[in-house]
Amino acid sequence: MSDEEDIDLSAIDEALAGGCGGLFGRDLLRLLDLTPAEFTLVLDTAAAQKAAWAAGKRDQPCTGDTVAVILEKPSLRTRSSFEAGISRLGAHPLVMSDQNSAFSRGESVQDTTLVLERFVDAIVLRTFAQSKIEEVAEWASVPVINALTDEFHPCQGLADALTIREHKGDLAGLKLAYVGDGNNMAHTYLELGALAGMEVRIATPPDFAPLEWVVDDCREAAADTGAAIDVGCDPVAAVDGADVVVTDTWTSMGEEEEHDTRLKAFEGFQVNAALMAHAADDAIFMHCLPAHRGEEVTDEVVDADCSVIYDEAENRLHTQKALLSLVLGAA
Ligand code: CP
Ligand code: NVA
C-alpha cells in the first residue's frame, strides 16, 4: 500500500456514520454475540485500520481511554497484542495477570467489577469458566471482551477470520476442517463458520466432541447464513478437499494433569503431511498457537509454505484494535 488513496477507509466511515454499527458499548463474550453484519464490520474495520497503519496513518482514536486486561491464565499473544493494540489506539492498557490479577484476592465478582469500572472504559478478561465472564458482564456497565475462557476464544476467531479472508478471499462457502480436541477453539471455529456461511467439519475422538449446546446454537445460526456444520470423528473425511485445515493443542490450559492420557486418546488425530494431502491443493494450515510440535501437528506442516500461523498471530492485534475502537465508539 503506497499512499493514502489506496486505503479503503469506507468501513470505518460507515461505522462512524452508523454509530459504530451498533457495537458501541457492547460486550463480546462469544462470536455468536455478533450478527453476521457486525462480524463483517469488525473484519472490514480491522482491514482498513491495518492498511492505514502500514501506510503511516497512525490515528489514536481512543486517546484518554483506559482498558483493563485481566489474565487468569498464561499468555504470550493475547497479552502482547492487546497491550500493543491498546497503545496504538492511544489508550492506556492496565494489565493485571496471575497472582496480581484483579480477581486473585478473593473479592466478589460484584465488588471487583463495580470498582474496576470506575477507572476503566473496557474490561478484557481471560479466565476459566464462561459463567465467570458472563457474571462480570452482568455487573459491568463498560464493554467486556472475552480473551479466552474454557468454552470460547472469540478474539482468536476474529483474527483467524481476517487471516482466512486475506489468503482465500470471501469466507462464504469455504470448507474449514478442524481436527483435534472439541475445545474452546473448536467451538470458536463452529461459531465463525456459522456467522460467515462456511462449511465447518470437526473431527475429534468420540470422548472429546464439542459441547452439544454450542453445536446446536451454531446449527441455528447457520440456518440464516447458509453455513453447514458437520461434527464427527474421522479426520480424513473432515480434511477431504478442505480449503483451511486447523488444529489446536490436545491439552488446554488447566488440563495439564491429563496430558499423558490425552496423548493416547488423540492418536490418529495429528495433522501431518499425510493428512494434509487430503486437503485442497491450495489449502492453508492454521493454529492459534502455542503449538505442541510433534503432538497435534508435525514440524513439516507447521513450517510448510501453506502455514499462515504468524499471520494469524499478527491479526490478533488488528482485529482487537478494530473491536475495541468500535465498542469504545471511536472507530
Ligand atoms: N493464541 C493465544 O491466545 O495465545 P496466548 O495463549 O499466548 O495468548
Ligand atoms: N485451547 C487452548 C487455546 C490456547 C490459546 C487453551 O485453552 O489452552
**275 — phi, psi (to 5°)?**
-70, -40
At 9, which amino acid appears? L
Query: How many Å apart are CA 181 and CA 202, to the nearest integer?
Result: 9
- For residue 128, the ligand closest to its alpha carbon is 2
pLDDT(228) > 70: yes
Nearest ligand 2 atom, CA 77:
5
> Could you identify the atom of ligand 2 that is nearest to the CA of residue 148?
7
- Please give the pLDDT value at position 101: 83
Nearest CA-CA partner of 159 in 329, 282, 319 = 319
> Would you state the cell numbers that stand for residue 169, as one nine-digit string?
478471499
pLDDT-derived band at 8, boundaries 50, 70, 90 = low
Question: For residue 17, is pLDDT > 90?
Answer: no
Tell me, in angstroms, the distance from the centre of ligand 2 to residue 20's CA: 30
Determine the residue type at 163: T
Task: List CB contacts of 263: < 8 A, sequence separation 6 or more.
Answer: 250, 295
Smallest-distance ligand from the CA of 147: 1
Task: Render pLDDT for 43-55 as a digit per residue (tens, 0 to 9).
Answer: 999 999 999 999 9
**How far does CA 308 lie from the centroid of its chain?**
15
Question: Is pLDDT above 70 for 237?
Answer: yes
Name the percent of the chain lying above pLDDT 70.
94
Round to whole Å and give the CA distance between 72 and 99: 8
pLDDT at 2: 41
* Whole-number Å distance between alpha carbons of 283 and 274: 14
- Between the two ends of the chain, the Cα-to-Cα distance in Å is 21
Instruction: Decide whether any atom of ligand 1 lies within 6 Å of the 77 Cβ.
Output: yes
Cell for 43?
473484519
pLDDT tens-digit readout, 90-133: 999 999 997 788 898 899 999 999 999 999 999 999 999 999 99
Q: Which residues sit opposite 68 in a β-bridge?
A: 94, 123
On the question of pLDDT at 179 being above 70, the answer is yes
Indicate whether residue 81 lines ligand 2 (CB < 6 A).
Answer: no
Cβ–ligand 2 contact at 185 (below 6 Å) = yes
Ligand 2 mutation target, pool 71, 253, 255, most atoms within 8 A of CB:
253
Query: Which of 128, 247, 248 is the best mutation target for the ligand 2 pocket, counting ligand atoms within 8 Å of the beta carbon and taking the most?
Result: 248
> Does any ligand 2 atom lie closer than 6 A to the CB of residue 233?
no
In this model, does residue 3 exceed pLDDT 50?
no
| Catalytic residue list | 126, 153, 156, 248, 288, 316
Q: What is the dihedral of CA 182, 184, 186, 191, to 10 degrees?
A: 130
**Can you tell me the mean pLDDT for 4-10?**
54
